[in-house]
């Protein structure tokens, strides 16, 4: 029993810019029918049409289900034959799927990598592309197809559910969609999206997920995955929900994303907010003053600056001898590098440098190194995390590290109308995943405090506008100690 999976790639052109350049891009001659042996069957590449105006390449994979089962044995988890495979054999061959992605990756390897020795300039150019996959298994349906492809620069994303049986529409839809993508993209980008997203939609990757799958994912995701709003779902599904690997992938993507988004924008924008105010003290400065004041009031001496960015607060803390130990933590190596420069860590005397440490780490995971401090500051950090990841940060800080005092600052979105150069409805920084009003922040802070045994008070930072409140909101959390004698505390 042999069955087929199918994908076409079309482009348009003219005599000066012939569509048949597609042949160069794919490294496959439009005049030939070629066959390649891949791990799951035979892949054929041919061109149903090849003219200057329009050229279409087709990739057809003949799957050999028997070979698939044989390969499956000893490859399933723990070396046992993969039970999921029985079902796999039944529906696999009729659809584009993970296997098509594997074939795509091997047959069009150079195109995926954006290499073209004959015409090196070609892969750099975006072309009008049309990609069609007549039967794409999509767990999550057309809706998920849109969530995955809509953010990727296509002009048109069409996902039509395929009925179970055309003769009997009342039977409803199958789990397949007909996918059509149209837009001006570089072919390599389009292929790399498909290479990742076909198996993600299929969600039935049956083979053993090796640690180098993370590298493969990040290579294929280069330039589009880090900033993709669904990168959590994409990584988890691509890596067959392997928790450790997914975590590694997300950490590395976060680093990429932060390296792409320039952290310095935060300061610039804060300065702009300050300028519209009478005193013209930049908001960033007022925020640091508010934080220092709250730390002094709490009597903290060993302080964590979580999401320290370029180290402005660490620098200010170092100036006060009362702060005996200061640890800046950030997920971005680039930010930490800038912080080290700002602090002149290299040229610092021993006494000074023994007070300060910069650590790379993600606040979305518990970290033993963060336990036992008096206070932790999260200044303008929470809004850089996707909302679904906020509970992880909450647990890492309030559940695991548990300093006596936690200060959290975040923009008050109500104030945005007062910021003249900010277009209506826009967030203050491109990398902000959300901005909260006072009620939203207050609600979150109160529930965090309740869950982890803290009390919380709120402090406005910047001019407290009677209507919309202050530009920055700060929550001061204090751990409620249940023991009779609280350590280090004056009765
Ligand atoms: N605290 C600084 C910087 C705020 S910008 C200030 O108030 O100016 C937000 C910082 O949070 C960035 O440096 C970013 O790298 C860091 N960040 C974002 N997500 C993070 C995470 N999951 N773990 C650690 N740091 C993170």
For 227-270, how does the pLDDT look when each residue is reduced to its tens digit (9 = 90+)? 898 999 999 998 888 888 888 888 888 777 776 654 444 444 44
Domains and CATH numbers, the chain: 4-208 (3.30.1610.20), 264-479 (3.40.50.150)
Q: What is the pTM of this model?
A: 0.56
C-alpha count within 13 angstroms, C-beta hemisphere, residue 447: 9
Q: Of the given ranges (101-110, 175-184, 279-288), which has the lowest mean pLDDT? A: 279-288
* Maximum alpha-carbon separation in the chain: 88
Of the chain, the percentage scoring pLDDT greater than 90 comes to 53
For ligand 1, atom 7, the nearest C-alpha belongs to 379
Distance 126 CA to ligand 1 centre (A): 34
429 or 402: whose pLDDT is higher? 402
Q: Tell me the pLDDT tens digit for each residue of 12-43.
A: 999 999 999 999 999 999 998 999 887 777 89
At 78 the pLDDT is 33
Q: Residue 123 has what DSSP assignment?
A: G
Best of 309, 367, 408 for a ligand 1 pocket test (most atoms within 8 Å of beta carbon): 309
Q: Which atom of ligand 1 is nearest to the CA of 409?
A: 7
State the residue for tokens 């979305």: 364
Ligand 1 neighbours (beta carbon < 6 A): 254, 258, 263, 266, 307-309, 312, 330-332, 335, 362-364, 379-381, 384-385
pLDDT band at 474 (very low <50, low <70, confident <90, very high): very high
Ligand 1 mean position, distance from CA 463 (Å): 24
Distance 381 CA to ligand 1 centre (A): 5
**Tokens 């791990």 correspond to what residue?**
39
pLDDT in tens, 194-239: 999 998 998 875 555 677 888 889 989 988 998 898 999 999 998 8
pLDDT for 207: 53
What 8-state DSSP symbol labels residue 401? I
For 94-152, what is each residue's pLDDT tens digit? 445 777 888 888 899 899 988 888 888 899 899 999 999 998 889 899 999 999 999 99
83 pLDDT higher than 90: no
Are 459 and 294 in contact by the 8 Å Cβ rule? The answer is yes
- Per-residue pLDDT band for 89 (boundaries 50, 70, 90) equals very low
Handedness of CA 413, 386, 294, 281 (dihedral sign): negative
Query: Which ligand 1 atom sits closest to the C-alpha of 312?
Result: 8
> How far apart (Å, rounded) are the C-alpha atoms in residues 27 and 114?
11
Q: Which atom of ligand 1 is found nearest the CA of 270?
A: 8
Q: What is the pLDDT of residue 276?
A: 40
Q: Are 48 and 58 in contact (CB under 8 A)?
A: yes
Of 418 and 44, which is predicted with more confidence? 44
In the three-class reduction of DSSP (H, G, I as helix; E, B as strand; rest coil), residue 313 is classed as: helix
- Find the 331 Cα to ligand 1 centroid distance in Å: 7
pLDDT single digits (tens) 294-326? 999 999 999 999 999 989 999 999 999 999 999
Atom of ligand 1 nearest to the CA of 378: 1
- Least confident window among 31-40, 304-313, 374-383, 425-434: 425-434
For residue 170, pLDDT over 60 is answered with yes
């Amino acid at each position: 029993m042999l069955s087929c999976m199918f994908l076409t790639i079309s482009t348009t052109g003219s005599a000066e810019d012939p569509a048949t350049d597609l042949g160069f891009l794919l490294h496959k001659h439009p005049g030939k029918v070629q066959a390649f042996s891949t791990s799951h069957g035979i892949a054929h590449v041919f061109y149903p049409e090849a003219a200057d105006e329009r050229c279409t390449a087709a990739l057809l994979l003949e799957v050999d289900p028997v070979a698939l089962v044989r390969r499956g044995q000893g490859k399933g988890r723990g070396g046992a034959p993969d039970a999921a495979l029985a079902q796999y054999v039944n529906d696999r061959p009729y659809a584009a799927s993970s296997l098509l992605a594997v074939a795509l990756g091997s047959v069009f390897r150079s195109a995926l990598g954006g290499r073209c020795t004959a015409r090196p300039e070609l892969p750099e150019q975006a072309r009008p592309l049309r990609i069609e996959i007549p039967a794409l298994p999509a767990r999550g349906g057309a809706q998920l197809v849109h969530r995955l492809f809509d953010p990727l620069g296509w002009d048109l994303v069409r996902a039509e559910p395929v009925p179970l049986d055309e003769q009997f529409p009342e039977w409803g839809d199958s789990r397949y969609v007909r996918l059509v993508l149209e837009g001006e993209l570089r072919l390599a980008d389009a292929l790399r999206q498909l290479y990742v997203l076909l198996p993600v939609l299929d969600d039935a990757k049956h083979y053993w997920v090796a640690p180098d799958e993370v590298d493969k994912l990040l290579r294929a995701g280069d330039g589009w995955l880090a900033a993709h709003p669904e990168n959590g779902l994409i990584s988890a599904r691509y890596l067959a929900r392997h928790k450790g690997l997914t975590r590694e992938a997300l950490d590395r993507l976060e680093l990429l994303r932060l390296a792409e988004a320039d952290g310095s924008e935060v300061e610039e924008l804060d300065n702009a907010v300050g300028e519209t105010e009478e005193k013209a003290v930049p908001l960033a400065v007022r925020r640091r003053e508010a934080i220092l004041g709250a730390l002094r009031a709490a009597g903290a001496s060993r302080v964590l600056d979580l999401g320290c960015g370029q180290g402005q607060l660490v620098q200010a803390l170092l100036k006060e001898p009362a702060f005996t130990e200061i640890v800046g933590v950030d997920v971005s190596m680039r930010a930490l590098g800038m912080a080290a420069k700002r602090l002149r860590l290299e040229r610092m005397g021993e006494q000074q440098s023994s007070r300060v440490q910069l650590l790379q780490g993600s606040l979305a995971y518990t970290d033993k190194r963060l336990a036992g401090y008096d206070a932790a500051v999260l200044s303008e950090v929470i809004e850089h995390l996707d909302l679904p990841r906020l509970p992880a940060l909450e647990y890492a800080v309030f559940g695991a590290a548990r300093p006596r005092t936690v200060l959290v600052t975040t923009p008050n979105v109500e104030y945005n109308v007062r910021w003249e150069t900010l277009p209506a409805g826009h967030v203050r920084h491109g990398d902000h995943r959300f901005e909260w009003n006072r009620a939203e922040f207050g609600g979150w802070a109160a529930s965090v405090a309740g869950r982890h045994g803290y009390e919380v008070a709120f402090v406005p930072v910047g001019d407290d506008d009677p209507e919309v409140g202050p530009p920055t909101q700060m929550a001061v959390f204090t751990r409620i100690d249940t023991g009779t004698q609280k350590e280090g505390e004056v009765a």
